[in-house]
Amino acid sequence: MNAVFFHRVLASDAKSDYSDYHDPTHKELDAFLVRCKRSKHFVSSREMAEMIRCGEKPDPRVLHVSMDDGFASSLPAAEICDRHKVPLTVFVTSDVLDGYVPWFVRRVSAIARHGGVVDYNGRTYDTGDLNEATALHEDIKAEVHAHGPGEQPGALERILRDCRMSADPIPDKFRFLTPGELADLAGAGVEIGCHGATHVRLTGLSGSGLTREVRDSRRRIESAAGRAVSFFSYPDGVYDDPLMERLEKEGYEAAFSVTEVERPSLVQAIPRMVFGRYIRLG
């Protein structure tokens, strides 16, 4: 049993910057599904969870497909999957439904639109180069995550200012779903899951902060989607035992992570491989 995920699907075949190389185009997703249908059996989140819960022997022919964050390009992705009769789960960060832009989007947008040399922490990065832009992406991410959740947006803005980068305006390719679009997805039969409220890492959170991320976010998504939300995706794929226990108490049927491991064993930590890596291994 395998699971693959991505964040966006790109309308253009011409990938314009480093951020575009980590997600499929419409044509790439279509070709991927056509190829996989020859040897794979696609399953929904509920089917995947039930297989694991029942202790079924891992089957490499089984494949689960999902998207994280709740970008508006989930809409054409859902149309492509529906055309091939492939179940799709879209995990939504609830606050984006009300206009919130997560700091990670501002980071990606700033690097993508810069297109030149950046000096950061004593190192020079050429943001026009795929590998160097990706390295800057990861180094900024590590520094921001060294701060508490409430301090992370401010930390990013200081980094961008010091590096003379700007995330404004955010390109349309990073637009998120509106509540109405989310309702349309759910009405079309797409499984809607929760990806937290603000996309902060949840390990170490407690009290009202964690409640907002795993309970209040779910209620907001359910309100917009018009149906129950039973599955969760960990922001950045990061989880620990207390977090898994909390999700079980909240009544989530399963939760999905991100890992190099191909075959799942825990229903509260089902590993998924990012689209690009899954393609390379396949």
User: Quick check: 159 and 144 in contact, CB under 8 A?
Assistant: yes
Helix (H) or strand (E) run with residue 155 in it: helix 152-162
Query: How far apart, in Å, do the first and last CA atoms of the chain sit?
Result: 14
Please determine, for residue 258, whether its predicted confidence score (pLDDT) is greater than 80.
yes
Residue 258 within a domain: yes
Q: Are residues 112 and 207 in the same domain?
A: no
How far is it, in rounded angstroms, from Cα 249 to Cα 140? 34
pLDDT at 281: 55
Please determine, for residue 164, whether its predicted confidence score (pLDDT) is greater than 90.
yes
Q: What is the CATH number of the domain that holds 28?
A: 3.20.20.370
- State which of 162, 184, 202 marks the end of a domain: 162
Helix (H) or strand (E) run with residue 144 in it: helix 130-145
For residue 209, give the amino acid letter. Answer: G
Q: Are residues 252 and 187 in the same domain?
A: yes
Residue 53 within a domain: yes
- State which of 162, 185, 206 marks the end of a domain: 162
126 has which bridge partners?
A: 117
Residue position matching structure tokens 């301090």: 151
Q: Are residues 33 and 53 in the same domain?
A: yes
Give tens-digit pLDDT for 265-276. Answer: 689 999 998 887
* Distinct helix (H) and strand (E) counts, the chain: 11, 10
How far is it, in rounded angstroms, from Cα 210 to Cα 207? 6
- State which of 143, 162, 181 marks the end of a domain: 162
273 has which bridge partners?
A: 4
Q: Which of 109, 100, 90 is nearest to 16 (CA)?
A: 109
How far is it, in rounded angstroms, from Cα 38 to Cα 250? 38
Q: What are phi and psi of 47, to 5 degrees?
A: -65, -40
Q: Are residues 153 and 63 in the same domain?
A: no
Residue position matching structure tokens 């810069």: 114
Across the chain, mean pLDDT equals: 93
Task: Count CB neighbours of 252 within 10 A.
Answer: 21
The SS3 assignment for 68 reads strand
CA quadruple 41, 46, 49, 53: dihedral sign: negative
Q: Are residues 236 and 259 in the same domain?
A: yes
For residue 92, give the amino acid letter. Answer: V
Domain range for residue 63? 2-100+172-281
In order of 45, 49, 79, the CA distances from 170 in angstroms are 32, 36, 25
Q: Are residues 27 and 155 in the same domain?
A: no
Q: Are residues 82 and 184 in the same domain?
A: yes
Q: Is this prediction's pTM over 0.85?
A: yes
Q: Are residues 81 and 158 in the same domain?
A: no
Q: 245 burial class (0-12, 13-18, 19+ CB within 10 angstroms)?
A: exposed
Q: Are residues 32 and 150 in the same domain?
A: no
User: Quick check: 210 and 68 in contact, CB under 8 A?
Assistant: no
pLDDT at 282: 54
DSSP secondary structure code for residue 25 in this structure: B
In this structure, the dihedral spanned by the alpha carbons of residues 220, 175, 148 and 117, taken in order and rounded to 10 degrees, is 180
Residue 167 within a domain: no
Residue 54 within a domain: yes
Give tens-digit pLDDT for 76-122. Answer: 999 999 999 999 999 999 999 999 999 999 999 999 999 899 999 99
Q: Are residues 121 and 258 in the same domain?
A: no
Give tens-digit pLDDT for 196-240. Answer: 999 999 998 999 999 999 999 999 999 999 999 999 999 999 999
Number of domains in the chain: 2
Q: Are residues 229 and 246 in the same domain?
A: yes
DSSP secondary structure code for residue 150 in this structure: G
Q: Are residues 50 and 146 in the same domain?
A: no
Residue 138 within a domain: yes
Q: What are phi and psi of 178, to 5 degrees?
A: -90, 165
pLDDT at 274: 87
Residue 65 within a domain: yes
